[in-house]
């Protein structure tokens, strides 16, 4: 069978971020830690990697720091300097030339950083001075290190952080992206504000769920001012424990957030539904998913170790509009074609996920290349 099965739910087109996506096999944001140094600048190799994956219905870029303070790992790219914007332009041009679509994922890591990565060796910042039981990767020599206790942000610093998101959204436009996804998942800054385990503030940004959601919603508003509500999405991970995260009442927290996002009218919520690196959550958090689905009328994008058949069922049942695939896209640059043809899938090598060169990055073959090698 060589043609795409029109009855396959993965290949129904989808209106999303003011575009018509040809399929619902989306590429998840994936940290690959291969930007050029110094300056955390996207390069030709990164452009090749994304271009190879341009048949995704939509690509969401790897997490990209909005400021030097927002950096938490060696070699991740930024989107605050002129050189970085020019580097991203190579990526977006390559994806568009290959017929694809790509959003920038805007990232501030908050406490998941280290003085070795921060301007002037400063402490990382967070809603509250709570040391996470987590590690970060600071350099090829030092590798993974313990994260120190962060400094709690003064309330007067918060408008400046919102401004950094706004500026990064402007930069994403200048770099030729088709829209942006706000990273509010996996224990980074916005998530640290959202969830009770990392937020002990007693001002307008802590305490009640409304207050904990305030930063996320202010950032979303600022980004909408740049892009319009149709070209903005957000990623959340309501049950994730990665980076030492916890919330006393995720149904309440994410209900408040979803209602706020619904009022703002953004294009989609992408939900990391299952485990991510050491997350203890078992299964998918159906109660939170139901709450988000009933509180928010935009598109729902599911993520989290989905197989193609699980994704088909989820979309067919109306439980998700699309699914993002991470590791499968690392190992299968032509993933949509393979899924359409029910072709075999390549296995990923997790030793080459982070850092390094083209090995385990741009050297995974397409089906066609496998065919050529065999002959
Ligand atoms: C990571 O670099 O380990 C990382 C980055 C972004 C995420 C999750 C993990 O959302």
Concatenated DSSP letters of 44-65: HHHHHHHHHTTTSS-EEEEEEE
For residue 185, the ligand 1 atom closest to its alpha carbon is 10
- Decide whether any atom of ligand 1 lies within 6 Å of the 73 Cβ: yes
Q: Cα separation of 374 and 273, whole Å?
A: 39
pLDDT tens digit sequence for 49-72: 999 999 999 999 999 999 999 999
Q: Is the pLDDT of residue 135 over 50?
A: yes
- Decide whether any atom of ligand 1 lies within 6 Å of the 306 Cβ: no
Q: Cα separation of 286 and 273, whole Å?
A: 9
Confidence at residue 175, expressed as pLDDT on a 0 to 100 scale: 99
Q: Which of 52, 57, 61, 106 is nearest to 323 (CA)?
A: 57
- Decide whether any atom of ligand 1 lies within 6 Å of the 186 Cβ: yes
Mean pLDDT across the stretch 349-360?
97
Q: Which residues of 285-317 are buried (b: 16+ CB within 10 A; e: fewer)?
A: beebbebbbebbebbbbbbbebebeebbebbee
Q: Is the pLDDT of residue 279 over 80?
A: no
For residue 276, the ligand 1 atom closest to its alpha carbon is 8
Residue nearest to atom 2 of ligand 1 (CA): 31
Find where tokens 């988000």 sit: 292
Mean pLDDT across the stretch 156-181?
99
pLDDT tens digit sequence for 8-44: 999 999 999 999 999 999 999 999 999 999 999 999 9
| Helices 82-97 and 158-174: angle between axes, nearest 10 degrees | 40
Q: Supply 146's token pair.
A: 């313990």
Q: Which of 27, 6, 20, 1 is nearest to 336 (CA)?
A: 27
Mean pLDDT of the chain: 96
Q: Which of 111, 293, 265 is nearest to 188 (CA)?
A: 111
Q: How far is the CA of 81 from the centre of ligand 1 (A)?
A: 21
Q: Cα separation of 306 and 328, whole Å?
A: 9
Q: Cα separation of 222 and 240, whole Å?
A: 26
3-class DSSP assignment, residue 366: coil
Backbone angles phi, psi at 178, to 5 degrees: -95, 0
Find where tokens 């009770």 sit: 196
Question: What is the tally of helices (H) and strands (E) in the chain?
Answer: 11, 14
Q: Which of 131, 19, 104, 116 is nearest to 74 (CA)?
A: 116
* Helix H or strand E encompassing 295: helix 286-295
Q: How far is the CA of 329 from the centre of ligand 1 (A)?
A: 16
Confidence at residue 3, expressed as pLDDT on a 0 to 100 scale: 46
Q: Supply 270's token pair.
A: 């992408």
Q: Cα separation of 219 and 227, whole Å?
A: 12
- Decide whether any atom of ligand 1 lies within 6 Å of the 185 Cβ: yes
| Helices 286-295 and 250-264: angle between axes, nearest 10 degrees | 30
Q: Is the pLDDT of residue 344 over 80?
A: yes
Instruction: Specify the pTM.
Output: 0.97
Q: Which of 35, 186, 278 to mutate to test the pocket of ligand 1 (most atoms within 8 A of CB)?
A: 186
Q: Cα separation of 181 and 106, whole Å?
A: 6
Distances (CA, A) of 360 to 28, 49, 348: 17, 10, 8
Q: How far is the CA of 31 from the centre of ligand 1 (A)?
A: 6
- When computed from its CA atoms, the radius of gyration of the chain, rounded to whole angstroms, is 20
For residue 63, the ligand 1 atom closest to its alpha carbon is 6
Q: How far is the CA of 374 from the centre of ligand 1 (A)?
A: 36
CATH superfamily for 9-374 is Aldolase class I (3.20.20.70)
Q: Which of 37, 164, 186 is nearest to 111 (CA)?
A: 186
- Decide whether any atom of ligand 1 lies within 6 Å of the 324 Cβ: no
Confidence at residue 278, expressed as pLDDT on a 0 to 100 scale: 53
Q: Is the pLDDT of residue 275 over 90?
A: no
Q: How far is the CA of 320 from the centre of ligand 1 (A)?
A: 23
On whether the CB atoms of residues 209 and 134 are closer than 8 A, the answer is no
pLDDT tens digit sequence for 312-332: 999 999 999 999 999 999 999
pLDDT tens digit sequence for 196-235: 999 999 999 999 999 999 999 999 999 999 999 999 999 9
Q: With DSSP H G I counted as helix, E B as strand and the rest as coil, what are the percentages for the chain, rounded to 5?
A: 40, 15, 45
Q: Catalytic residue positions?
A: 188
Confidence at residue 206, expressed as pLDDT on a 0 to 100 scale: 98
């Amino acid at each position: 069978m060589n043609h795409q099965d029109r009855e396959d739910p993965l290949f129904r087109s989808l209106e999303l971020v003011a575009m018509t996506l040809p399929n619902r096999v989306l590429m998840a944001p994936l940290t690959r830690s291969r930007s050029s140094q110094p300056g955390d600048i996207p390069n030709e190799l990164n452009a090749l990697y994304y271009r190879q994956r341009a048949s995704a219905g939509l690509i969401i870029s790897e997490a990209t720091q909005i400021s030097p303070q927002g950096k938490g790992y060696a070699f991740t790219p930024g989107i605050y300097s002129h050189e970085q914007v020019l580097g991203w332009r190579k990526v977006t041009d390559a994806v568009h030339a290959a017929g694809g679509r790509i959003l920038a994922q805007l990232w501030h890591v908050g406490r998941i950083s280290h003085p070795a990565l921060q301007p002037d060796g400063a402490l990382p910042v967070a809603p509250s001075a709570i040391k996470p039981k987590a590690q970060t990767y600071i350099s090829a020599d030092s590798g993974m290190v313990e994260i120190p206790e962060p400094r709690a942000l003064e309330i007067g610093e918060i408008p400046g952080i919102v401004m950094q998101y706004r500026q990064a959204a402007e930069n994403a436009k200048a770099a030729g992206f088709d829209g942006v996804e706000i990273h509010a998942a996996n224990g980074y800054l916005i998530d640290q504000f959202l969830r009770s385990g990392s937020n002990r503030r007693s001002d307008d940004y802590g305490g009640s769920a409304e207050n904990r959601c305030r930063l996320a919603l202010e950032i979303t508003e600022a980004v909408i001012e740049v892009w319009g509500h149709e070209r903005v999405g957000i990623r959340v991970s309501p049950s994730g424990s990665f980076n030492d995260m916890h919330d006393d009442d995720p149904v309440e927290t994410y209900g408040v957030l979803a209602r706020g996002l619904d009022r703002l009218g953004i294009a989609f919520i992408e939900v990391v539904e299952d485990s991510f690196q050491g997350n203890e959550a078992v299964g998918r958090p159906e109660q939170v998913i139901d709450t988000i689905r009933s509180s928010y009328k935009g598109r729902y994008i599911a993520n989290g170790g989905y197989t193609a058949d699980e994704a088909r069922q989820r979309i067919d049942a109306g439980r998700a509009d699309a699914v993002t695939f991470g590791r499968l896209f690392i190992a299968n640059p032509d993933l949509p074609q393979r899924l359409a043809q029910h072709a075999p899938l390549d296995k990923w090598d997790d030793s080459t996920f982070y850092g390094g060169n083209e090995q385990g990055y741009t050297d995974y073959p397409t089906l066609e290349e496998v065919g050529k090698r065999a002959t």
